[in-house]
Structure 1
Amino acid sequence: MPQKVATIQDVARLSGVSTATVSRTLSHPERVAETTREAVLRAVRDTGYVANSMARNLRRRRTGSILALVPNLANPFFSEILSGLASVLTPAGYGLLIADTHTDPAGRLAHYLESGLADGVVIFDGSLPLEALATRRRPPVILACEWMGEALPSVRVDNAAGAEIAIRHLHEMGHRRIGHVMGPAGNVLTESRLEGVRRARGDLGLPLRDDWIFRGDFGLASGSAAAMTWLGLKDRPTAVFCASDEMACGFMGALQHAGIAVPADVSVVGFDDIEVVAHLTPALTTIRQPRRLIGRRAAELLSAMIDTRTLTGPSELLPVELIRRQSVAPPCGTGASP
């Protein structure tokens, strides 16, 4: 005998709410109470109910998809943000499409926006050309983590404040000779975090030395290269703030291979709080971005723009948090090379 197909009425009956509430929960989960949302989603799982999203999208003239443009899918930083996006979009009936802007030329942005491929776009790459967004046929767009001026809505953290927190923490631990490994040139995150470094150094009366500013690109290899430059200095900083955790990992690894102990010989602070850094030896002190929250809020704001058929919306600036671990200790020497 064929198994009965679950209906929205079955979900409503099992969860103890109306069919309208079930529909609202699946379409706009952010608009219902958490207890109601959990009850409905549990009933959906228990009944095996599958919404007829294709028919609903045809009625609404929508694709039922959201496109995320990510600058480097190999970067573990994005995994938690994408998970946050999916936690809102999936219950609302959207599929999440992901494209890597490092493998797809930036010139394809206009194609993505005009193709009708998605109902909305989340951009993680602030280096994409703004002129592509001028097309009248584009869907709503929101930026996550990076930004392109103030014209487009975005969800991001206070990067300058995070860098200041890192420098002030090192200062409180007794460090006065503090270096910085930057991100890629021209990147808004690089500039914002460097601004925070300079502001904190100025406020604390710390030396502003160009030879203690190391070039990087947010990747492991550039952190390792910065460590080689640090090793070559006759007058070394006793602490280094890296503008990403990946660079901090590369920096620490290269120094440890060279026989330099962290934090006994040099303290290191990162930025992001990706999963792996809590498991390093020593575990990395870092500035935590609320990555899952960034994804959730970006999805919620974009959904609201789609519903109201507008290309504009509010931006959100989220706070960061210092996560103290074992990669920072008071300086034990002068920082001069042996």
Structure 2
Amino acid sequence: MLANRIQRRVTITTIAREAGVSVSTVSKVLNGRADVADGTRTRVEELLEKHSYPRARRRGSDPAGLIDLVFDELDSPWAVEIIRGAEEVAHAAGVGTVVSAIHAAVEPSRSEPARQWLDNVERRRSEGVILVLEELTPEQRTRLEALNVPYVLIDPRGEPDPEVPSIGAANWAGGLAATQHLIDLGHRRIGLIGGPAGVLCSRARLDGYRGALDTAGLALDPALILYGDFHHESGYIQGGRLLELPDPPTAIFAASDQMAYGACEAARERGLRIPQDLSIVGFDDLSVSRWFSPPLTTVRQPLAEMGTLAARMLFRLSRGETLETTRVELATQLVKRESTAPPPVA
């Protein structure tokens, strides 16, 4: 019994380590590639036989019956929307979904959690993986490709690799629309609570904000631009800082709905009414935003649709099909509700 449990823990990395070769070399042996030296091939084959390692499933073969969704964290309704979209497609295909989190905030090194999800993907013989991570490392990518497991990224942190299938939203257009809406209402001092400065979608929303100000002939005031982490508390903290400025903004564009909720709370603590004294726009259109008090004006990011499309792309890849494009950006849409109004009369 114990021997069987140890045997099941053997991964492609284990084989590579014992053979003294790279993971990609083991992958070549598993997939019958000719560009491996005879002695190396024999050594790897012997270890594969010793550990009863299952031969890699080639794309287009019988499905494993599962797909994996891997997130950095699962503490946001943002993640739930993506899961909902992907699960609907998987359910219709008769395939199960396995959701896991790396918990990067709890374990900053990320090395052990990263190994765990990759090991689990290998053991489960997953049909494919949808990744919603700040970063897919070269090592992780190499191992997924060695396992012949297709994968799709959603909202990657940096500039998408043209060889890697990825899905995002029109973040620049969304930032432009949110800011332009506030300008059209008559606001001239508009604060921005952006997401992490190094994240692609954050930069795009900031650029949209800048573009709207520039088009309207409004000067960019660096004091009005602060950065959060997309979560409620950072919106509360940074919203408070904006409102404590000697010349505070009359409107705030928060780059996520959760940060907008936090900014609203900071405003109320200071006796400000929304939208009579301060207008606030979010980004995401989470399901709770329409029930917020007041209902939140926001930019709708099609999160469920992103999950849906990722799952469809994944199944096509698992069948060995070629995608027409590896990068898809879905449209965003401004949803006007009751958290925005013209600025108060001086």
Q: 2:114 aligns with which of 105, 109, 112?
A: 109
Which of these residues, 230, 248, 251, is aligned with residue 263 of structure 2?
Answer: 251
Q: 1:137 aligns with which of 139, 143, 146?
A: 146
Residue 131 of structure 1: CA displacement?
3.9
Residue 317, structure 1, aligned to residue 329, structure 2:
yes
Letter in 1 for 2:114: L
SS in 2 for 1:308: coil
Which residue is 2:69 aligned to? 68
One-letter amino acid of the counterpart of residue 146, structure 2: R
C-alpha distance in structure 2 between counterparts of 1:191 and 1:119, whole Å: 33
The one-letter amino acid paired with 1:216 is G
How many residue pairs are counted as aligned between the two chains?
A: 277
**Residues 110 and 133 in structure 1, CA contact (< 8 A), matched pair in contact too:** no
User: Could you list the runs of 5+ residues in structure 2 that have no partner in the other structure?
Assistant: 1-57
- What is the DSSP-based 3-state SS (H/G/I as helix, E as strand, rest coil) of the residue aligned with 2:319? helix
Give 1:51's aligned residue: none
Q: Give the aligned partner of residue 100 of structure 2.
A: 99
Aligned-partner Cα distance in 2 for 1:205–1:110: 51
- Once the two structures are overlaid, the 10-residue window that deviates more, 200-209 or 322-331, is 200-209
2:203 equivalent among 191, 205, 217? 191
Deviates more, 1:77-86 or 1:238-247: 77-86
Match 1:267 to one of 257, 267, 279 = 279
User: TM-score scaled to structure 1, two decimals?
Assistant: 0.76
Q: Distance in 2 between matches of 1:147 and 1:183?
A: 11
After TM superposition, the structure 1 = structure 2 runs for residues 110-259 of structure 1, keeping only pairs within 5 Å, are 112-113=117-118, 115-116=121-122, 117=124, 118-135=126-143, 136-138=145-147, 139-146=149-156, 148=158, 149-151=160-162, 152-259=164-271
C-alpha RMSD of the superposition:
2.3
SS in 1 for 2:76: coil
Deviation per CA, 1:110-150: give whole Å up to 9, x if none: 55346523221111123342442123424111012335523
Q: Distance in 1 between matches of 2:323 and 2:150?
A: 5
Deviation sequence 1:70-93 (CA, Å, 0-9, x none): 122110112122111011111212
Which runs of 5 or more residues in structure 1 are unaligned? 1-56
Q: How does 1:43-62 map to 2 (within 5 A)?
A: 60=61, 62=63
Distance in 1 (alpha carbons) for counterparts of 2:226 and 2:157: 24
Give the Cα–Cα distance (whole angstroms) in 2 for the partners of residues 329 and 100 of structure 1: 39
C-alpha distance in structure 1 between counterparts of 2:274 and 2:102, whole Å: 35
Distance 1:129 1:197 in 2: 30
Asked if 1 retains the 8 angstrom alpha-carbon contact of 2:193 and 2:239, the reply is no
Write the distance in 2 (CA, Å) between the matches of 1:101 and 1:150: 22
Give 1:99 deviation, angstroms: 1.2
CA distance in 2, matches of 1:85, 1:242: 27
Q: Which letter maps to 1:97? A: V
